[in-house]
Amino acid sequence: MNEVSLNTIRKYIEFNAKENPQSDFVSCPHTNNKISNKQLKINLDKINFYLVNKKKQKKNSIICTLIENSLSSIQLMLGIMYSGMIQVPLNLVAGEEQLSYIVNHSESKIIFASSSNLDLAKKIVNKISSDIEIVEIDKNNFIEKIDNEFEIIKENTNYNDNALLMYTSGTTGKPKGVMLSHENILSGGKNVQISHELKSKDKALCVLPLYHINGLIVTVIGPLVSQSSLVICEKFSTTNFWKYISKFKCTWFSVVPTIISSLLNKYSYDEINSLDLSFVRFGRSASAALAPETHKNFEQKFKIKMIETLGLTESCAPILSNPLPPKKNKYGSSGIPYGNEVIIVDSKFKEISRNTVGQICVRGKNVMKGYYKNLEETKKSFYKDWFLTGDLG
């Protein structure tokens, strides 16, 4: 099967299960469980049957999830997309008002919530007039509790069908629902694969939440499209970060500048020297600018190359990345385009010369279809087929 025919989440899951059935896709340090590519396909077929026959969901049904990083959350997320439905990941720390707006705006009729988030789900639903079903699931063994009697349902999904509806933070107004297709999501994952030269032997440590685009695309879809694997952590822990990398022999990780600072402050040189980190190829930083001094201090202290990147929800994470060694890295820079085109324009949308500040614009298969039920904002966000990021570069 060639790259062109691998154009939906399901097709990649099926391909990996056929080509590398016994290879692990995801491991969980909290449960000491792991799921192979073969088992993942079986589990997602099971979820598909459950959603269609038990929960009466159908193609393009919009399904909200309110779950911390876990084996259940990653499989439910992929299972929704695998089934031709649309996942709406809810930010666990966004607050009741914002979450009730998102659920109401999305027009979803069902929320899957882990036991620890059940009360929050009830508060959200209480603020909405329409009937919404809440399904409580165990974060660790949701799949095991579904009836084992299931049939494989034939795929009815196209590359341009929506797979993910992810809402932006809404710091400057109401959150906007970013519509992302299977093609968008897989292209974002491929851009991660290309920029970081991921191979099947690579293993990512995922500590960022899957309800953000960074954690979801970079450390789940990146491994999926590169036929590699990941270790999923419920959340970042300074105490366990290097322990998990060492135990599972992770070759790379994705973090944000606050985590980098936390790691710098936590570990002494003696503690670092006691760790075996020889198999780590690189770390990557995104979501905010990484101060050059912090960047240099991390590399000096841990002897690990840190790759600074830039990405957006609307572009399925990365649009720019610094290259891996031996190519040149530039401190204080987000890097160069991989897998998409990037230009800098002035206020009249004319491309400007080097060393001139302007707005960053991106074009590519990873760029969103538009904002859900918001044609006005969608039109304002594009000039021809270029997405206007609003960021300066």
Number of Cβ atoms within 10 Å of the Cβ of 356: 10
Tell me the pLDDT of the chain averaged across its residues: 95
Q: What does each C-alpha distance from 223 to 189, 370, 377 come to in angstroms? A: 8, 26, 32
pLDDT of residue 298: 97
Longest dimension (CA), the chain: 62
pLDDT single digits (tens) 253-292: 999 999 999 999 998 888 888 888 999 999 999 989 999 9
- Write the DSSP string, 63-93: EEEE--SSHHHHHHHHHHHHTT-EEEEPPTT
User: What percentage of the chain has pLDDT greater than the value 70?
Assistant: 98
Predicted structure pTM score: 0.96
Residues 228, 23: Cα–Cα separation, whole Å: 8
Comparing 347 with 125, the larger pLDDT belongs to 125
pLDDT of residue 274: 85
CATH 3.20.20.140 fits 184-338, yes or no: no
User: What percentage of the chain has pLDDT greater than the value 90?
Assistant: 89
pLDDT of residue 170: 60
pLDDT single digits (tens) 15-30: 999 999 999 999 999 9
Indicate if 184-338 has the same CATH topology as 9-182: yes
Rounded average pLDDT over 241-262: 97
pLDDT of residue 391: 85
Comparing 171 with 242, the larger pLDDT belongs to 242
Question: With contact defined as beta carbons under 8 Å apart, do 290 and 308 qualify?
Answer: yes
Rounded average pLDDT over 61-82: 98
Question: With contact defined as beta carbons under 8 Å apart, do 20 and 227 qualify?
Answer: yes
The structure tokens listed for 187 are 């292209």
pLDDT of residue 1: 52
pLDDT single digits (tens) 322-374: 999 999 999 999 999 999 999 999 988 888 988 888 999 999 999 999 999 99
- pLDDT over 90 at 241, yes or no: yes
Question: Where do we find the tokens 């097709």?
Answer: 11
Name the class of domain 9-182.
alpha beta
218, 286, 214: which is closest to 257 by C-alpha?
A: 286
- pLDDT over 70 at 70, yes or no: yes
Domain residue limits, the chain? 9-182, 184-338
pLDDT single digits (tens) 28-67: 999 999 999 999 999 999 999 999 999 999 999 999 999 9
